[in-house]
Structure 1
């Protein structure tokens, strides 16, 4: 397969693995890159020295392109960016912030930059900032996403109508059929998170992986919009949030309940009651934990078969 995305990243398939916190370490990123996609290391849950270690291990594990996803709200952002440059990373996905802040810095170092957006407005701002492509993420996606609550399949054609740079679809895509549907609507590639979270190479806790494969439709919810909208699996923590909402809480009360390290507690340490379990609606289509290469191979095979059948 050859298109704008495969050419931009020098990869075989226009499939990017989401750079998810507590899930996307060097093992997952290198496995996806070796299988022909673009693997991403999720820097959002890593201290600077830990990120450096993951980049170095990823370089040893694959000779294929890979990248780093950087939420720009990260407290050690300057140090993170310096490490990325020092380690020779060639692809950076930025999110949760203004694309103008770091795009020029990274581009001057010869790095390909992609920014994650949830609206046409921010897609246009990203293009104006000089990014090479945008990830357009609908609110079906797991974890933190846009306040607009625009679905992926309405967002993609609206963004495609307005921008000239390549568009990558994200949110609710976990199969070859989903990939084909996104491409038909104008996407040049897809970013897949939840499906790769439930792989053998994912650094998520086994308890969380088991939860993913047991999720049914309607089991995930968008909440905490006053802080930052996040899609979660219903558990004790989620129910505690809903009970607090019944009392008309202040932002500070919501922050107090959330506390610190909720996502680590749930996704990385496996606390299924008190932890934050971030996963997308597409988890209802995930029924088995498989190697990342098998997942990618099956997605491409289904994409090709369905496309040919049509």
Structure 2
């Protein structure tokens, strides 16, 4: 595969990035993806500072390839997290859920490349203005926390591409080589894939959750809790409880009370499929087996190359 803006920026073999996902993407998954030629990401959103140090150090031992750390900017201990990233000499940081202006320059002054995740054109332009090295534009098909406007990846990528000059990474609803090719035809320089890597032995999420992802069909996920922070969930008892509460026209406080604390940990990490929050993308309906991360990368790249030849013959 020829080099492009993203493979050159990150010094990786393939323009394929594993998303930083809470409770799923620790050092094992990140190092496996990086070793397979993609860019692995440690998801710091579910980690206390001391846990993040442990994951970064283990990842360094497990791979000599580049890897990144994803940091939600609303994280309560953000100063400590950034201090760790700088002191541990992490080379690439993906930021999300917050203002990219806050940390971008500071990180770049320490030689760190910064990518910001956005859900719309307006935020992509703000990120470019903040000086980020690239943006991830994520359509509303994606799992986990999501954009309020429900803009799909198929429409979002060309709209962002039209407005920005920096490298563009597509995310949301991509789990195959054909999906990767489609996103790049639409203008992306690379893709970021989350849900597909949840169904791997290296993902730190619970086996119960992985098996539920593999069983998921079309229509088994839905975006909800827009009043708090929109999140795409697998339908389960907790999801049904949310829907039932909505019939009573609840206040924001009632929704917060129902959500409670550590709901995502309960579902994705501890494997409580009834009461837990199960964040996954719509593309889960196309994920049919749990397989090693390296095999997933290989399969995606092989399908990408096959599809590219088929398209060129049209």
TM > 0.5 fold call: yes
Question: What displacement does 1:34 show?
Answer: 0.2
Secondary structure in 1 matching 2:219: coil
> 1:83 maps to what in 2?
84
1:55-94 aligned at under 5 Å gives the runs 55-94=56-95
1:251-262 aligned at under 5 Å gives the runs 251-262=252-263
Question: What displacement does 1:298 show?
Answer: 0.2
1:289-308 aligned at under 5 Å gives the runs 289-308=290-309
1:50-79 CA distance string (max 9 Å, x none): 000000000000000000000001000000
The normalised TM-score by structure 2 is 0.98
1:170-190 CA distance string (max 9 Å, x none): 000000000000000000000
> 1:15 maps to what in 2?
16
1:1-310 aligned at under 5 Å gives the runs 1=1, 2-310=3-311
In structure 1, how many angstroms separate the alpha carbons of the residues matched to 2:89 and 2:108?
Answer: 13
CA RMSD, aligned part only? 0.3
In structure 2, how many angstroms separate the alpha carbons of the residues matched to 1:306 and 1:40?
Answer: 26
1:150-184 CA distance string (max 9 Å, x none): 00010000000000000000000000000000000
Secondary structure in 1 matching 2:103: helix
In structure 2, how many angstroms separate the alpha carbons of the residues matched to 1:288 and 1:272?
Answer: 18
In structure 2, how many angstroms separate the alpha carbons of the residues matched to 1:148 and 1:90?
Answer: 32
1:200-222 CA distance string (max 9 Å, x none): 10001000000000000000000
In structure 2, how many angstroms separate the alpha carbons of the residues matched to 1:55 and 1:236?
Answer: 35
In structure 1, how many angstroms separate the alpha carbons of the residues matched to 2:148 and 2:106?
Answer: 28
Question: What displacement does 1:3 show?
Answer: 0.4
Question: What displacement does 1:309 show?
Answer: 1.4
Secondary structure in 1 matching 2:222: strand
The list of structure 1 runs, each at least 4 consecutive aligned residues, that deviate by more than 6 angstroms after superposition, is none
Q: Where do 5+ consecutive residues of structure 1 fail to align? A: none
In structure 2, how many angstroms separate the alpha carbons of the residues matched to 1:82 and 1:165?
Answer: 27
Secondary structure in 1 matching 2:279: coil
Secondary structure in 1 matching 2:267: helix
Question: What displacement does 1:148 show?
Answer: 1.0
Aligned positions, number? 310
In structure 1, how many angstroms separate the alpha carbons of the residues matched to 2:307 and 2:55?
Answer: 37
Secondary structure in 2 matching 1:106: helix
1:61-101 CA distance string (max 9 Å, x none): 00000000000010000000000000010000000000001
Q: Where do 5+ consecutive residues of structure 2 fail to align? A: none
